[in-house]
Amino acid sequence: MSRITPTLMTVLVVASINIATGISYVPKADIGYPAGLLPECPGVQKNATISARMLPNLKITLHKILPNGLISRQLVPIGTAHKIVAKDKSYDFRSKKTMLYAVGFLDSSIFPHSQAIGTAYAKRGYNVFITETVHLLTYIYPKSVRITKVIGMKVGEFLVKLMEQGLSPDDLELVGASLGGHLVGAAAKYIYEKTGFKPFRVTGLDPAGPCFRSLPEEFKLSPNDGQHVDVIHTNIDGFGIAERLGHIDVYVNGGEYQPGDIPYIPCLVVCSHIRSILYWWQALEHPKKFIGVKCASIQEARLANCFNNTDIVYMGLETDFSKSGIYYLPTHNEFPYYRGKAGLKAENEIYTSITKQINAVDLFEA
């Protein structure tokens, strides 16, 4: 009688899953798997600092909705931001939650997507702060990586000062996109080091992968950074990272690339990376519409081989952190992207369903 080896068992399990979901492709073992863009960047762990001359350029945007419904944005140096907040009676740390959003590489608090995130939280009654790092995270990328942890510590210092004004860590949520994902991780580490408390929630929106893939935990976002940590992956082999960094890791449409709004125009590296911000914004605006299904592995999430599972989680403020694990989350290719429960059906998987429609005719005559 022939023995079933572990390798053969793996093939059989994957094959059975593919049959159950209607997806037949399985990568061959001999083609390997992606190392990801820039897995190692020698020197990024070396010391870095922000000079007294440059520090005033590290700023915090105080983002709020005025009583007349207009958006107010006040940009202040991080060193004095806590003093300005203390004098502003609209900030209430006793009865409101607080969210700080960290922008990423070549990013700014003035960009529309950053303002959209801030406004979405402000509408829900949060005190909102957004980092402004355009003078620092615009150095050539490996140097920006090197300074990210230092910036994160400065942000952590600002938040500790707010805690001295009454901000509770149980009411604090940190959200960061790309390099900002690791920046909020560094801020959370600083808060814990100085106070012994962790922020209630830390969310990474496609945290940067280049130069971070091979770094130890202390240099990047980690499940230990918050009471609850979730990560939205949208470009895991490009500008994002495949590694699990949270209690809940959501691999949107498999996490590799996102579908383009126009089927004929692909959404490649930059597009897929930024899409994580748009998904999060829309998840805030459309509660319980972005639904992920649990997977046994990241590889299963990559291949959308999770439809036979019944465990689901919502992306957004309604996330149930008692359901830790890896999740595949399907979207539509058009704004506002959510699929709801329809996305949990294998026949609606975005890539195969669209290509099936394109090739619906039995005979294509050019």
Task: Tell me which residues are annotated as active site.
Answer: 178, 206, 273
Pull the structure tokens for residue 68: 């007349």
What backbone torsions phi and psi does residue 129 show, to the nearest 5 degrees? Answer: -130, 140
Q: How far apart are the first and last CA of the chain?
A: 53
Given a contact cutoff of 8 angstroms between Cβ atoms, the answer to whether 83 and 161 are in contact is no
Pairing relationship of beta strands 59-65 and 228-233 according to DSSP bridges: unpaired
**What is the DSSP-derived secondary structure letter of residue 359?**
T
Burial 187-199 (b: 16+ CB within 10 A, else e): bbbbbbeeeebbb
Asked, as a colleague might, if the bond just before 27 is cis with ω within 30 of 0, I would say no
Quote the CA–CA distance of 205 and 181 in Å, as a whole number. Answer: 6
Quote the CA–CA distance of 294 and 249 in Å, as a whole number. Answer: 10
Pull the structure tokens for residue 190: 């600083």
Would you call 67 exposed, middle or buried from its count of C-beta atoms within 10 A (0-12, 13-18, 19+)? Answer: exposed
Quote the CA–CA distance of 161 and 173 in Å, as a whole number. Answer: 16
Quote the CA–CA distance of 47 and 150 in Å, as a whole number. Answer: 9
